[in-house]
Amino acid sequence: MSGPLSATTPVFDPLTAELAQVEQAQVRALLPPGLQGTVVQVPGYWPLLNLDVRSDRAWSLMLAGPNAPMVAPGLRGDLTAWPIASDCAAVVILLHILEQVDDPAPLLAEAERVLMPSGRLLIAGFNPWSLCGLRGLAERFGSQSRHWWPQHLRSVSELRQQLSRLPMQVEEVTTAFFRPPLARHWVLNRTGVMERLGSRLLPRAGGVYCLAASKRRLAAPTLRLMWQQPSVYGRRPLREPSWRVAA
């Protein structure tokens, strides 16, 4: 491929098409049920996700960097300072964008900022400890490298460490694509059995992963007032009158 991927242009590379199909199925499966609100997607050079939501209560918004191609209607701005209000997005989807930046911390901080309480963050990436990870290293040093292969491989453990510094809770991690990442139709078709065996025998060796995390609601502690009768110090009991005692 000679250019960036988009959601509106067809993908002719069989490997790219298969990876995109498998990964988008992962992301759609982790979307919250009954999705309502704004969905912010930061795809980088990867196809946008088709939400496939049969409702008019969910809207998808694309965010692109200042130098990235705008392949769909959306916003353009600095990835470390999103032009989006805080606590307004129901879902934020990061499709391989963390693999294109040197430091993922500012981008994750912006994703957490725009998420509403209990909002969901979905991160898709290539597993460095897989066949796709090895293919990514080969693409980096090859003469005809694809634009969408990652520049920085991010493991799930690294993302967990980054998210632990934010009010984010990792809920689920799924992996897929255990086949050899080769751009040949016959290889992809004849190695389909590796998907079933890999998910059972080596679930962590999938070529692509999708991590789902939620923004933790920070509730203020409830203050309970303990009402009690104040004690009176130095107060003596009243004496009975002398005439009543004599009587």
Q: What is the pLDDT of residues 33-87, one digit of tens each?
A: 888 888 999 876 777 777 665 556 777 788 877 666 666 667 888 888 999 999 9
The Cα–Cα gap between 182 and 15 comes to: 6
- The secondary structure of residue 100, as a DSSP letter, is G
> Burial letters for 9-31: b for 16+ Cβ neighbours within 10 Å, e otherwise?
eebeebbbebbbebbbebbeebb
Average pLDDT over residues 155-183: 90
Alpha helix ranges (H) inside the chain: 14-29, 105-114, 131-140, 156-164, 185-190, 193-201, 242-246
State both tokens at 125.
């990436």
Cβ count within 10 A of residue 166: 18
Q: What is the pLDDT of residues 131-149, one digit of tens each?
A: 887 777 666 666 555 555 6
Q: Which domains does the chain have, with CATH numbers?
A: 14-246 (3.40.50.150)
Nearest to residue 207, comparing CAs of 2, 51, 20, 30? 20
Global confidence as pTM: 0.77
